[in-house]
Structure 1
Amino acid sequence: MDRLSRPATLASRIAQTLRDDIAAGRFATGARLPAEATLAGTFDVSRPIVREAIALLKADGVLVTRKGSGAYVSETPGGQVWRVASAPEGGPTLAQLFELRRVVETACAEMAALRRTDADIAAMRQALDAMQRQADDFPSAAAADIAFHHAIAQAAHNPCFTGLTDFVSQQLLAARQRAWENTARLRDSDGQPRAADAEHAALVDAIAQGDPIAARAAATAHLGASAARMGLA
């Protein structure tokens, strides 16, 4: 374990270094980590910084602590919480998150077409209707947009995909609101209907028809157009 410089995210960087050490097998499942004082010396930081790093890993389920004994590698050293590690410049960037969204949501659409229930389709159409009714209330429209894509992820009937979709959606919430505002301005200037409405409807129709190829294609088309509207294409 190398000593680190002192950036603002020092505790998170130490936590990531410890996470990497655990993943590499330097600390096995059930193993006790060195004492706080030892880790503080290794990283050349104060004990409160080490304590904060351990708290981060404990919150993610990587470590467990025992009063008076120290921190131990848990039975699930990979952690129980999914998060995006920050890039050196403070990422992830909007483009990186949207790239992840393209991969996850096209797969969700394909699986949803194979596994959807009537209740799943009803949830999608309800969210679609809410988006259309609340189009001029940008926070509400963005929330309905998130609910729409959440419904598609749920229709895949794999909680891993649902959790990942929800995480990315929350990271992109502000960008979604800006996209709704931009769409409203364009509609006011040229009188054209919102392109996203037709894209969403086509996606629901493909899933409802049980056509995984069409569903993936519709999701790909929608996400490509969304990226262009956000200036990411």
Structure 2
Amino acid sequence: MTEPAADSRKLRQQIANLIAASIRDGRWATGERLPSERDLADDHRVSRPTIREAMIILEARGLVQARHGAGVYVTDAPRPEVSAPQLEVSAFELVEARRLVEGDACALAAAVMTDAQLDELTVILHDMAEEHDFGALADLADRRFHVAIAKASRNGVLVAMVENLWDLRYQPTRRDLLERAGRMRAQPLVNDHQEILDALKARDPTAARGAMREHLGRVIENLMAVAEADALQDARARIQARRSEVARRADV
């Protein structure tokens, strides 16, 4: 059950489309739990990581929702499918744009969000704390948290912008860099989000904007650390290659 790296993105999109078609054809009703990851992998003859990636795509489309400890369920409010342009942007540019857009969305949400929306964020944060790693379900909870804040702003343009920025995250190279940056964070992901939630609960737009920008600013710092580590590794490899060449020449 191997999948060539060059075809992995196309494959997970295909699997997501097949599962989406089954949902729309009524194979699973709204609120019904999807089969287990293992069963779906066997049904579609793909690996379990491919199924996890397909679930992320389906949640981004609004067709399913992951519930901690309970599996993945069909939702009742799928978003219209719109093909986003495949922009060539770096992971740094992506997070920088998120810091600008989501900072202001968070400030606006702090001024107008309801108690029910705050309760929803609390539940999502609990899911994130339970996962406390950078696996598929934790990633879904992270996205749900940020999109829920955008929705609480009651500005449809901001919601679309935040969702599109998150969709750009799933390009393989950017995703790999962001996951590596995530492993370098000094404090658990849930701590950053708790600070954001506290500012929202205080109904303080300035504090909410600051907490969101500080959170994403730390992501940028971690990306810079990853880039620095990669540059050092490349430099060491070049020096070692040069040393080997010099040694070979010295033996002539």
Q: TM-score range by the shorter chain?
A: 0.5 to 0.7
Structure 1: how far apart are the matches of 2:213 and 2:83? 25
1:129 aligns with 2:97: no
Give a deviation string over 1:168-201, Cα, whole Å, max 9, x none: 11211455676456545x58xxxx751x322110
What is the aligned-residue identity percentage? 28
Which residue is 2:221 aligned to? 228
1:148 aligns with 2:145: yes
Give the secondary structure class of the aligned counterpart of 1:231: helix
The residue identity in structure 2 corresponding to 1:211 is: D
Give the secondary structure class of the aligned counterpart of 2:224: coil
Change (3 A) 1:179 1:208: same
Give a deviation string over 1:23-63, Cα, whole Å, max 9, x none: xxxxxxxxxxxxxxxxxxxxxxxxxxxxxxxxxxxxxxxxx
Unaligned runs of 5+ in 1: 1-80
How far residue 220 of structure 1 moved from its aligned partner, in angstroms, is 1.1
Which residue is 1:92 aligned to? 89
1:207 aligns with 2:207: no
1:118 aligns with 2:115: yes
Structure 2: how far apart are the matches of 1:171 and 1:128? 23
The residue identity in structure 2 corresponding to 1:110 is: A
Change (3 A) 1:82 1:183: closer
Structure 1: how far apart are the matches of 2:94 and 2:187? 27
Higher-Rg member (1/2): 1
- TM-score if structure 2 supplies the norm length? 0.50
Give a deviation string over 1:140-192, Cα, whole Å, max 9, x none: 111110001011101101111111101111211455676456545x58xxxx7
1:103 aligns with 2:100: yes
Superposition CA RMSD, Å: 2.7
The answer to which structure has the higher helix fraction is 2
- TM-score if structure 1 supplies the norm length? 0.54
How far residue 100 of structure 1 moved from its aligned partner, in angstroms, is 1.5
- Moved segments of 4+, more than 6 Å: none
Change (3 A) 1:136 1:100: closer
| 1:180-191 alignment, distance < 5 Å | 180=179, 183-184=182-183
Query: Residues 95 and 219 of structure 2 are in contact (CA less than 8 Å); yes or no, is this contact kept in structure 1?
Result: no
Query: Residues 151 and 159 of structure 2 are in contact (CA less than 8 Å); yes or no, is this contact kept in structure 1?
Result: yes
How far residue 84 of structure 1 moved from its aligned partner, in angstroms, is 5.0
How far residue 115 of structure 1 moved from its aligned partner, in angstroms, is 0.7
Change (3 A) 1:180 1:122: farther
| 1:40-55 alignment, distance < 5 Å | none
The residue identity in structure 2 corresponding to 1:104 is: V
How far residue 85 of structure 1 moved from its aligned partner, in angstroms, is 7.0
Structure 1: how far apart are the matches of 2:176 and 2:141? 11
Greater RCO (CA < 8 Å, at least 6 residues apart): 2
How far residue 126 of structure 1 moved from its aligned partner, in angstroms, is 1.5
The residue identity in structure 1 corresponding to 2:192 is: E
Which residue is 1:26 aligned to? none
